[in-house]
Amino acid sequence: MPTNGATARHDEPHADAATTAALAGDGPLRLMAVHAHPDDESSKGAATAAKYVAEGAEVLVVSCTGGERGDILNPRLADDPHVLRDMAEVRRGEMAAAAAALGVQHRWLGFVDSGLPEGDPLPPLPDGCFALEEVETAAAALVRLVREFRPHVMTTYDEEGGYPHPDHIMCHKVSVAAFEGAADLGRFPGGEPWQPLKLYYNGGFSRERLQVFHDALLAAGQESPFAEWLERRSERPERRVDTKVPCADFFEARDAALLAHATQIDPDGFFFRVPREQQVELWPTEEFELARSLVPTSVPEDDLFAGVRHLVEGGAERETA
């Protein structure tokens, strides 16, 4: 199985008894997307989630924190008294609207946003925040949801968090621990064990994609918001892309979900600088890195359920773990 970006063979099965139990005609297909904060689900893999919901799969978004310490990134709401009074409540409402736009189910994991301390020297993380939790403690909460929802596939962040936000990095650690431990009652007692079959890391902000959008804006005689991004990423190694999911038909749902997070998304910001019609033409997919696979598959893929779909939908005889 691939771990942390390492090259691995995806064409070899690794099915044990618990895995086999997960394969046997256990439809519908189920995808769990684990994110650090409300709004992350809308900027990372949202169109893919909406696509699978439309195809009849069940999709559960898990938000590890409530986003309580998020800044107000939309200048229109900078002085809104309701937002200033209760950011946590506002973000709960935003998340409900985003989930409705995508058609996904949603659960809170219940941890407290760590914020993004900045400065030199770097200030400490606040007491009681998600990033300071013990990994096994936080993973136990996610394992409970995994055993309840029984996802065939999980998505999360790479070991760098996609970017080095402490909650994103913690989300990676917790998600990997839950993927590896949900079938292990010795490690995480309680509930019915369940083994997800594949684990992916979100892509989406690759240098190649940013360059394509940057060049398109310049060719149209417009200013690009991506120049600084490209400069920052010039010395950063690119992550592997194993799976490109065609999902352009669901960019409208993605955009509606983004806009639902009104405190976090500026309607005039970089997410919307390239017109949707042009995005469909230039980059009609969302990208993922295959981190673990317990079923035979080969890359490149165009489906997160590759290697899983025919097993789950095939109605094979179910075995118990």
pTM: 0.91
**Higher pLDDT, residue 103 or 85:** 103
pLDDT tier at 24, thresholds 50, 70, 90: low
pLDDT > 80? residue 8:
no
Average pLDDT over residues 43-71: 97
Domains, the chain, ranges and CATH?
28-203+240-313 (3.40.50.10320), 205-238 (no CATH)
pLDDT in tens, 130-189: 999 999 999 999 999 999 999 999 999 999 998 889 999 999 999 999 999 999 999 999
Chain mean pLDDT for the chain: 90
Q: What residues form the annotated binding site for Zn(2+)?
A: 37, 40, 168
Average pLDDT over residues 195-200: 97
Q: What residues form the annotated binding site?
A: 37, 40, 168
| Helix/strand/coil (H/E/C) assignment for every residue in the chain | CCCCCCCCCCCCCCCCHHHHHHHCCCCCCEEEEEECCCCHHHHCCHHHHHHHHHCCCEEEEEEEECCCCCCCCCHHHCCCHHHHHCHHHHHHHHHHHHHHHHCCEEEEEEECCCCCCCCCCCCCCCCCCHHHCCHHHHHHHHHHHHHHHCCCEEEECCCCCCCCCHHHHHHHHHHHHHHHHCCCCCCCCCCCCCCCCEEEEECCCCHHHHHHHHHHHHHCCCCCCCHHHHHHHCCCCCCCCCEEEECHHHHHHHHHHHHHCCCCCCCCCHHHCCCHHHHHHHCCEEEEEEEEECCCCCCCECCCCCCCHHHHHCCCCCCCC
